[in-house]
Every structure is written in C-alpha cells, then in structure tokens.
Structure 1
C-alpha cells in the first residue's frame, strides 16, 4: 500500500469501528450516518478526486508542448484539495504530479521551495508558484 492511501484507509477503518460500536448499542441510524461521513471524508482525502498523475519529466515535456501548468500535489494536503475543488472541470487540463509517487517531482518541489516539499507548487512556463490562488491558476489554464 502506498502512503497516499494510508489516511483514507485509516478513516474507513476507524469509521467502521465506531459505527460497529454504535450499531451494537442500538443506534443504527447514527452508525450509518457516521460511517457515511467517514467514507466521504476518506474519499475527499484520497487520490481519487485528482486527475491521473504523471511523472515530473513527462509533465514538463507536455507543458512545454501545450503551455499548460504543471501542478505538484500530494494526497491529504488541504491546500491541494482546495485548489482541485476550486478549479472544477478546468483541473483536468493541468498536468498533475503526485510528489509521493514521483521522486523527481518531489525534487522539483524541494528545489523551488528551498528544500521544503510545500504543495501545491504550480509550474507555469518553467517558473514555480507556491500555493497560488485558484483563480490565477484557472486563468493560466484557460489561456
């Protein structure tokens, strides 16, 4: 199991344990509601809501060809989730790199952030931008 799935897995397991306890105590409605909430929270924190990640080198190559931004992210990052949700459908036009799956992507982010793995880091025309406003990223995706 990759570490991208650790948090969502823990959320589902904990939700199931709490829901089981509530169910055994006779609170089946509360158990179902709580399990649903844990499952939704796990889904939001999983890599599933992000477009398919590619490698950093491939993303840079594609960005040079089509001019679209490269977004470096990692699962469980609240700022990455905010960016993804606020971009909406436009997010699919960007090139996404999961720094936990791609060591070269993590190296690019560390180089841009003085050794820190601060995400989201967005590369536009080869220049890094750390945690930019989603409206600014959306503008870059539409141009």
Structure 2
C-alpha cells in the first residue's frame, strides 16, 4: 500500500505543526491574546492526535523500522528515541490535566502545570521530527523487523 509509505512524512509534518502551534500559542498568551492562544493550543492537540492516528496506522501495516548500526550515530538516535518515547507517554495525562484546568477556568492551576507540559510537549514534537530525519532522510535503510 503506497499510501502507508507516505505516513512517516505526514507524521513528521503533524509533529512540526504541533511544535509551531505550541510556540505560537505560548507567544500569544504572553501577549494576553487568550482566544488566539486557545486556538493554537487546541490546533496543536489536533495535530498531535492526527500524528498518533498516522503513527498507529503506519506501524499496524508496516511494523518497526530498524536503525542501522552506525556506532555513535545509532547511540545518539536511540537516546533521542528513548527520551522521546518515555516523554510521549508521560505527556498524555499532563496534556489532559492542562486542558481540563483551562476548560474549568482554574487558570492558576492551568498555568502551574502548563509550565511543565509545554516544554515536554514541545520536546516530544521536535524529537518526533528528528526521529523522522534520522530514519527517512539522513540514514534511510528500508529495513524492517
């Protein structure tokens, strides 16, 4: 299925979009532009959910992609992948809690957790793009397991 092979690029674009929207949303709230902040953050969530759908679909059809054994480069890749994966799991309840506090107008508590949620979510989005570049641009192998 040719469309499945395009999903990694789609997923990277979703991650990049999420990162850009998170940064833009942060800048908006710093300027007091609450409506624009809300729109950016909800759009970042939508981009992340689209990524997740694409990621799960890709791996359901394609399986895993093995990174070549390139010594230090592989070590760097696996370090990024490991931290990305752990934080991607950890960020889910944080995003839910951050959104819940915003939607229930508990803005002091929203701000307190958002200080942690934003940088971690941003890290996950940016490292998702880096992982794409490692696997499909800089060191493509096509090997699956």
TM range (shorter): under 0.3
Give me the TM-score of the superposition, normalised by structure 1. Answer: 0.27
Larger radius of gyration: 1
Structure with greater helix share of residues: 2
More RCO (CA 8 Å, sep 6+): 2
TM-score, normalised via structure 2 length: 0.26
Of Structure 1 and Structure 2, the greater strand share is in: 1
